[in-house]
Amino acid sequence: MKYSLLKEYLSKTQKREVRKELLLLGLPSMAENALQMLLGLVDTAFLGHLSWQAMSGVSLANQVFFIFQVVLIAASTGVTVLVSNAVGARNNKMISRSLWNGLYLATIWGLAMMVFVPFIPTILKIFPNVDQQVYQMSVDYLTVILSGILTMSFMGTLSAALRGSGDTKTPMLVAAISNALNIVLDYGMIFGKLGFPRLEAKGAALATVLSRLVGVILLLIAVLNSYNLHAREKQGRKIDFTTMGNILAVGLPTAAENMLFSTGLLLFANILLMAGAKAYAAHRVGINIESISFMPGMGLSVAITALVGRYNGRGELTKIAGVVRQGWILTTIFQVSVGIFIFAFPKLLITLFTNDAEIISIALLPVRLIGLFQAFLAIDYCMNGALRGTGNTSFPMITVAIAMWLIRLPVGYFLVKNFNLGLLGAWIGMMTDIVFRSLIKLFFYLSGRWEKRAKKTTLKVKATSGDLPGN
């Protein structure tokens, strides 16, 4: 193997600097992820205490909604990678062009997705075994959320540009404001409080859209005033198909990865529905708890991407290896700590989302499983950050496709159908998927095969001539 997670690539002084920078970038990103997840979790918690049908319906709707986010993810991922590499290469023109052309892509896709709003009742019939009340809640929620998809597309891309430039604090603060507004609006619109009508699932969706709209306005102000993003320069605002192509070249594999994963989750949901509506509700509670456990890893993954991208823009591969090692150490510490808490106190976490005794009983053992697999999630998040920072987004896509479609779904289906293991059987398939994909990504990184794509990414951000004033 060409690289190692156990080898020191940096001096003691460099290690301290890298750890400090990873934490400075990662901690705000963790907080932002926590707040963004809370945006969805608050919906789930409020609706879970309204009825389990409302909670399950919104969860099904969100699984379908993930598929509509494909190019949004492509735009945000591509913008983060190109901006961070351009910052490292000190190419101000590429920074500005990556920002604006990412926003143009996000606008085009958001408008295109709104065309599907009238067809939502038909689309959601892909769940043949779903309870009728759950189905109607799904339709109500998804109709409003998809109608307001532009708020998500702009918020994601603007935040991605700021993170790529090394500013993770602003997206965190904006997420905090949006989340606080969402909680107030959720309470009012779901239950008919604070002078609002009782809108239930529709109210949860409308609260989310309105809170994101406020977030977009705040992020746009921050981007226009950012010293590092050069957003006010007229040259950078031009539509540039080469830059759009570069964004998509980096971002589309990640988008495809999420598409394959999300469509796999739709089939996985049907496997759970075979075990019964309560088993599916327990599964959604478990997924929400798993999402909480993701927060440290996701935050540090963003930090690793930004820092690796910066060094990759300078062509410093040894520094990249040093960042990845320190990122892995920090991610493992955070994830394992979370895992111990989840394993020790599963019931405490489950009751945040439901007070149904049967659902609590079904969810207990699978939730404990989450705690046992956090070390593998740490590897997965670290490798995602490292590979994306260098522009290596195709390999993670292939790995996720294999893990989902050839491991999670077959294993889960077999254990549920033939051994009647219900939620536990499905989650054994899910945990096997996590172990497989984390180890395969690790071996790819250790082999050094990522270097070829990393060098191509460096050349892309250095290729643009005629830098903007001030460079």
**Of residues 148, 170, 143, the one with CA closest to residue 61:** 143
Residue matched to tokens 């594999």: 253
pLDDT of residue 428: 92
Q: What is the pLDDT of residues 26-72, one digit of tens each?
A: 999 888 877 776 666 677 778 777 777 777 778 788 778 877 776 67
Asked which of 200-214, 216-230, 231-245, 373-387 is least confident by mean pLDDT, the reply is 231-245
Q: What is the pLDDT of residues 393-437, one digit of tens each?
A: 999 999 999 999 999 999 999 998 888 888 888 889 999 999 999
| 3-state per-residue secondary structure call for 55-89 | HHHHHHHHHHHHHHCHHHHHHHHHHHHHHHHHHHH
% of the chain at pLDDT higher than 90: 47
Do residues 115 and 289 touch, judged by C-beta distance below 8 A? no
Q: What is the pLDDT of residues 353-389, one digit of tens each?
A: 888 888 899 888 888 888 999 999 999 999 999 999 9
